Structure 1
Amino acid sequence: MTDITELAQSMKAAAKKATPGPWALARDRKTVVSNQSHPIANLSDAMHRMLADGTTGQDAEFIALANPANILALVEALEKAQRYIEELRDWNAGLAQESCERQQLISELEPIRAAAEKLVRCKGRYHSEQNYRALAALFGVNTPDLPPLEHENVHYGDTAEMEIEALRQRIAELESRTVKLPKLKMLEDYLAEVAIEERKQILVGVKLEFHRACVAAGIKVEDE
């Protein structure tokens, strides 16, 4: 593989020693001359032949280095390197922009994730198990304190609604239920030793207070 740097430096050094261009062929189509018509080299002779002034050898050295193969190799390599440099610049600029955007996104999401994880950890106080699982799955929080689900595709929202509806029905049943009070056997046994009139007053008062408490709680009371 050609060392482009070494080749470029050699051509540069030779060009500084050579007769300034542009160069062209003389009328005989054999002699290379400068723009002042000074002969540079005779193509039919050995390029390294020295003339009386001793400069043609230096020109011949440059001509030898400036052959088409070297020039094409140099130009192709330089153009390829330039394209690669431009691609790297664009790529680096894209990476820098993407990195900046990702860092900004992370900085925005981290407080949210931290708050969500803290919320998940409060499941015993504020959340049902379904909400706890849903939040944990959403924010990638491990839940070693929960047993694995039998079906991973449980719909947490539907489950919660079903539980709420069942609780509502149970509350309605309790509110509409009629309670039949048993005889206050122990109280009656105690009051047997008290005067009849006093006993009746105490018993009526106890029943009234109990009845008021049940009514206040929304429970229908039916005396035995």
Structure 2
Amino acid sequence: MTTDITELAQSLKAAAEKATPGRWEYYPGNTSIEYNVDSMDEGQGSIVYVDSGDFTQAQTDRNGEFIALANPANILALVEALEKAQRYIEELREWNAGLAQESHEYQQRIAELEPIRAAAERLVRCKGRYHSELNYRALATLFGVNNPDLPPLDGESRTVTAAAADVLAERKRQVSVEGWTPSHDDTHKNNEMAFAASCYAFHAAAATWDLEDDGIPYDSHPVPKQWPWDPSWWKPTDARRDLVKAGALILAEIERIDRADGIKLEAE
């Protein structure tokens, strides 16, 4: 049988409130025990008198100690502590339910904002292709994109072919070995790097038309008329290598144009 602690507590409380208040004392005798209220007021009277018999004195004493402690004041104190604990438990339940509801609402809000965040992420990654650097950063701030220089999104191509890797490596070589730094490139304002790239690209394409037929080695063909720089800078190697040089020079030209327009240069 399960005891309803709340019902039991209320029953004890009701009984304690009707009982004689105060501290109870017990007076063991040879074969009996008497409980009195610890008061000089005789009107409070004796609580109970028990005749224990000749052979139960020890147990009677133990029972007496228990009954004396189970006085109304102690019972009321226990019930009060229980009620206080129950109120606190109920408050915790309500607080926890509120947190759960708040968490659910936040999760819903996050789910609603996710498409906007994803769209903003794609938008700010457009940067110089569709709007200025200032607009790009403003959009990043507006939509809460903490790291504007985002990596490719899942599903986007991240493959770098050998050809692309060679073009990028040549561009780095031009900077580190040849000294074609941004400040150097910015002095070539008449599309000279684009002209140089076209010379290498045309030379690679035309090699199979007539140069080899005339018996002229690939790397010995005269400097093209449209070559923008000193002839000593013309250094044909082979068709693929020259196309790589052309690609690197085109990158350099595009970077120069972007710098002039104030467009961010770093790759995503």
Question: TM-score scaled by structure 2?
Answer: 0.34
More relative contact order, 1 or 2 (CA 8 Å, 6+ apart): 2
Question: TM-score scaled by structure 1?
Answer: 0.40
